[in-house]
Amino acid sequence: MAEEMDLDDVWVLCRDILENGAPLELNDEMRALLSRTAQQAAISQQDAEDALRSHSTAMTLLREIHRRIGEGSNRLDEARDRVNELQQQGDFDGAQQVMRDVLAVEIVPFYRAQAERTLKKSAGLAEVLATGRLNPNLPDRPQLAVLAQRIQKGHALELTDDLCALLHRTAPTAAISEAETEEALKSPKGAEALMGMILSRFREAQSRFLRSMYRMTSLRDAGDLEGARQQMRDVLAVEIVPRYRQAAEEQLRGLDSPPPES
């Protein structure tokens, strides 16, 4: 997405100039980037053009863009974390209110769009929780988690064609074979057990990977590359979920690559 790339580019620029003291060179390319990004940060084109007439006002513009991007990004990240926490507790009304609170104050269009998508997704999952009917426009695993919540609330699991199709799609992502899936889908109890296995494998894999990433980063930053590599090797020794195996392999390849030339 071009807008996201502009925000990323200007964030790096802000770090270099505002934090590291690099000079702001107001050439045509820089003016174009700041003009585009200012509008993406809800600053009018006229205000941006006025600011770009001098170096001092351009610096003021850059600081304001930096502030809006930083606040918007942090606000959205914190809100998403809270939404996930509330949804795991089954509080979808609270989760949606978190995003409404973001939308009440956010002015950067990119972050507003992200918040609106999260709100729409949460509302859709709430509908799945209330009715048990799957939504083809929502991702698979969050819907599985919601169906598991329905079961915990005492609702019977209906082994519909849509649910069977979803489980056939998601089981391989948790390293569950087709034969195991077919056997589980012979009864609602088997399907419940299959759902639980898929969800637990992903929870365990994510937790394992994030812990190892933290240790790997600490060791890498301390100069212990071999220790950092071992963290990912330890993950690969036990991990069966393809997504997290791939992530560990990518991290290991990155550690084995030569550092970029300065």
- Residue for token pair 């057990």: 193
How many Å apart are CA 57 and CA 63, to the nearest integer?
Answer: 10
Note the pLDDT tens digit of each residue in 127-180. 999 999 999 999 999 999 999 999 999 999 999 999 999 999 999 999 999 999
* Proportion of the chain above pLDDT 70, given as a percent: 96
50: tokens are 């006025």
Cβ proximity of 136 and 193 under 8 Å: no
**Torsions phi, psi for 63 (to 5 deg):** -65, -40
How many Å apart are CA 144 and CA 202, to the nearest integer?
Answer: 12
Q: Please name the residue ranges forming H helices in the chain.
A: 2-14, 28-40, 45-51, 55-88, 92-105, 109-131, 140-152, 161-170, 178-184, 188-221, 225-238, 242-256
**Torsions phi, psi for 15 (to 5 deg):** -60, -45
Q: Which residue in 60, 69, 13 sits closest to 40, CA to CA?
A: 69
CA 146 from centre of chain: 19
Lowest mean pLDDT among 37-51, 89-103, 168-182, 231-245: 37-51
Q: What is the DSSP string of 88-108?
A: HTT-HHHHHHHHHHHHHH---
| Half-sphere exposure of residue 80: CA atoms within 13 angstroms, side-chain side | 14
Q: CA dihedral defined by 8, 11, 16, 21, rounded to 10 degrees?
A: 170
SS (H, E, C) 205-259: HHHHHHHHHHHHHHHHHCCCHHHHHHHHHHHHHHCCCHHHHHHHHHHHHHHHCCC
Cβ proximity of 175 and 157 under 8 Å: no
Note the pLDDT tens digit of each residue in 110-124. 999 999 999 999 999
How many Å apart are CA 243 and CA 90, to the nearest integer?
Answer: 26
Sequence letter at residue 246: Q
Contacts of 59 (CB under 8 A, 6+ apart): 17, 24
* Proportion of the chain above pLDDT 90, given as a percent: 74
Q: Quickly state the pLDDT bin for 262 (edges 50, 70, 90).
A: very low
Between 27 and 247, the higher pLDDT residue: 247
Hey, where are the domains in the chain? 1-74, 89-131, 138-256
In whole angstroms, how large is the CA radius of gyration of the chain?
A: 23
Predicted confidence at residue 258, as pLDDT, reads 63
Predicted confidence at residue 5, as pLDDT, reads 59
